[in-house]
Amino acid sequence: MRKLVLVIAFCSSISVFGQDFKAYGDSFVKTSPTAAKSLKQLDLSDTADLEVEGEVNAVCQAKGCWMTVNLENGETMRVTFKDYGFFVPKNLAGTKVVFKGKPEVTETSVEELRHYAADAGKTKKEIMAITEPEIALTFVADGVLVPGK
């Protein structure tokens, strides 16, 4: 009887605390990820690989070759995938994911911003309204964990 109670307790803890993930890119074990919303507060000048958890805002609708995640104050961060080596599902908007890799501050050209806008399904008018490069926090992920997908 004691064994049955232990088995039931163990199974309950897995269903409450355990979560299945599908890995895209390099597989890794989720440990204690940094919240994406707090990335701007970190000193990124000496950052090794980071494990980050955040809510997906948008995904490239052409191939799934990039995604944006929500930061604080309504800002987003673009996450690209190392060496264009993998893609994620295009229906991840609103999903909390975990990704691992390197954050960096980069300047994105007008041409590339327009390309991203086209991938996101923006109108021609919205695309042509992009006239200046953007300096922003970005992230190059080696792998992404998507829950239950």
DSSP structure string for 15-83: HHH---EEEEES-----SPEEGGGGGGS-GGG---EEEEEEEEEE-TTTS-EEEEE-GGG-EEEEEEGG
Residue 5 has pLDDT above 60, yes or no: no
Statement: the pTM of the whole predicted model exceeds 0.75: yes
Per residue in 88-110, pLDDT (tens digit) is 999 999 999 999 999 988 999 99
More confident residue, 90 or 13: 90
Spell out the residues 6+ positions from residue 68 whose beta carbon is closer than 8 angstroms to its own: 56, 57, 58, 59, 76, 77, 78, 79
**What's the CATH code, domain 20-147?**
2.40.50
The residue ranges of every structural domain in the chain are: 20-147
Per-residue confidence band for 120, with pLDDT thresholds at 50, 70 and 90: confident
The pair of three-digit structure tokens given for residue 148, joined into one six-digit string:
């239950």
